Structure 1
Amino acid sequence: MDFSCSSAFVTLAANDLEKLVLFYSNLLNLTPQQYTPNRYAEFKLPGLRLGIFRPKQSHEAEFKNSSSAMSLCLEVNHLENAIARLTHLGYPPPGEIITASHGKEIYAYDSEGNRLILHQSS
């Protein structure tokens, strides 16, 4: 069962994406490397990519009343193998694979309940 990670990055959900992007731009003295207004921004730091995204309306409730809006995103080579690995470990993803413009992904949770996004680029 191959579960090799090609990269990992941290993402933050934001209701007011522009405000949070401005905050990190000012804090880090950087402009986002990738930027789609009102949808996504990504900062590239040494050893870390920080993504900030506005959740789709269908997922907004998932980010309300949570202890943290942060998700650990693991970019994988084979999403199905990653799902099998999580299931084998006793933490099967509760939902279905989502097809987004940037690839396929599924949401899962670690043993402490922290949100994970397993992502395979298109």
Structure 2
Amino acid sequence: MSLPQYRVGLLAIAAINCEDLLQFYAQLLGQEPQAHIPNIYGEFQLTGLRLGIFKPQQTDMGEFASLPGKAGAMSICLEVADLEAAITHITALGYPPTDTIRIAAHGREIYARDPQGNRIILYQPS
């Protein structure tokens, strides 16, 4: 049996109010979604990552009803050239880091949360 060849990955975030989350990520990433269906779906293109934010179908709402209370259900790691500038930017958006800068094997990093409580890891490589 041969394995399928996967070509592209898409990180998809379910959000009951997807427009609020789309607006947050548009401000965080400094770009508008490349694909956008108002109140249903938006997608951002980053080098090496497609980020999709969608409103679940009505039939799936029960599964996602408690999303805001499920902080940390997803983590997105974003590499930045200047960690301090990224901290200033996300703080200005109203979502300051939740901790102090950490030193990891790959560089310096800090955690923040998006409006839905998902963890954002901003890191600057060493």
What interval of TM-score do these two structures reach, taking the shorter chain for normalisation? 0.5 to 0.7
Segments of structure 1 that go 5 or more residues without pairing to the other structure are 71-122
> Which residue in the other structure is 2:38 paired with?
37
> Which residue in the other structure is 2:5 paired with?
4
TM-score, length of structure 2 as denominator length:
0.51
> Which residue in the other structure is 1:107 paired with?
none
> RMSD over aligned Cα, in angstroms?
1.7
Maintained 8 Å contact 1:18/1:37: yes
> Which residue in the other structure is 1:22 paired with?
23
2: CA distance, partners of 1:28 / 1:35: 15
Q: How many residues align?
A: 70
**SS state at 2:32 partner:** coil
**SS state at 1:32 partner:** coil
2: CA distance, partners of 1:58 / 1:32: 26
Segments of structure 2 that go 5 or more residues without pairing to the other structure are 75-126
TM-score, length of structure 1 as denominator length:
0.52
Within 5 A, what are the aligned runs for 1:38-117? 38-65=39-66, 67=70, 70=74
Query: Following superposition, which runs of at least 4 residues in structure 1 exceed 2 angstroms of deviation?
Result: 64-70
2: CA distance, partners of 1:13 / 1:51: 9
Query: Higher Cα Rg: structure 1 or 2?
Result: 2
Letter in 2 for 1:51: G
| Cα displacement string for residues 57-92 of structure 1 (whole angstroms, at most 9, x for unaligned residues) | 10111223464655xxxxxxxxxxxxxxxxxxxxxx
Maintained 8 Å contact 2:16/2:64: no
**Seq. identity, %:** 43
